[in-house]
Amino acid sequence: MDITPVKSIKDIPSEENLLSGTPACAGCGGLLTLRHCLKALGENTVIVNAAGCFTLLSIYPFTPFMSSWLYTAMACAPAGAQGVRDALDILIKKGRLDSEEDLKVVVLTGDGAAYDIGLASTSGALYRNLDFYYICYDNEAYGNTGFQWSGATPFASKTGTTPPGKTAPTGTLTNKKNLFEIWRSHKPPYLATISPAYPVDLYNKVKKAEQYKGPKLFIALSPCPPGWATDPSHSVNLAKLAVDTGIWALKEAVHGDVKHTLIPRKFKPVENYLKEQGRFAHLFKPVRQEETIKKIQEMVDGYWKEVGI
């Protein structure tokens, strides 16, 4: 297999028919991420989709995909992927399916399934060393049911269930779970964080993962204009700002060995990222919450100091 890294977005294949028009929200960072991932994965894939924002992407008899698509309940996409993978392996072993016709099995979930509701079945799939790709479009809340708090919601974010008020002026009081490290503790062969603002980094990571048999994770920070209260046209710039401020670290882990794939030469203040989003507007008006903003900056600085950068 060819895993030679591409150096420019011009080198990425342009099979736009792999994902044509869809009923997703305008400016959805997750949809752009999926488009780039499919360019790297190719047509020979079967997507097992956990219930979530992307539930309406493929509705019989209409589909924007050239590949196969299977729905499951929110909690059990990895279990569905196990059944698909087992069926393919049995058909190949019995000679009823040529090995060249084998499919890549891809689980597609939002952060609600990835960080919370589907974590048990995911852990089981990791324990069994299931050969599959797991793509999480992380918009940091349960986006399609009112933008409620999830295990991916960052500290101080406003959500439908964590509104800022007298008892909790910051909004969300908890910190975001570290899904990357939860997966890494299971010792899978390949993990990566990705961003729709860095398609070359994304594409190269998905292609690189082809050489590894077993679970492969891709977490994409995915701007959500309705939930984040942002302009749909600003999604890519906002995803880039998350990397530039150090809020979202682009990295990979090969057999547990972590490497950061893109590090800004100079980090921008996290305030630049926060003030662009309505979900953090309460940190600046009517009274600027200096201590909270400082705490978020310290958490980001602490991460980079911990990894030696």
pLDDT averages per 10-residue partition of the chain, 309 residues: 74 60 81 94 94 86 85 96 98 95 97 97 98 98 94 98 93 97 98 98 98 98 97 97 98 98 97 98 96 98 96
Residue 56's pLDDT is: 82
What strands lie across the sheet with 104-110, from one edge to the other? 68-72, 45-50, 104-110, 132-138, 215-221, 190-194, 250-254, 257-262
**110 neighbors 153 (Cβ within 8 angstroms):** no
Query: What was the pLDDT predicted at 1?
Result: 62
Task: Classify residue 95 by burial, with Cβ atoms within 10 Å: 0-12, 13-18, 19+.
Answer: exposed
Amino acid at 220: A
pLDDT score at 63: 80
Query: Would you state the pLDDT for residue 141?
Result: 98
**157 contact partners, CB below 8 Å, separation of at least 6:** 140, 141, 171, 172, 279, 280
pLDDT for res 62: 80
> In the chain, what are the domain boundaries?
9-306
Does 9-306 carry CATH code 3.40.50.970? yes
- Name residue 132's beta-bridge partners: 215
pLDDT confidence of residue 21: 54
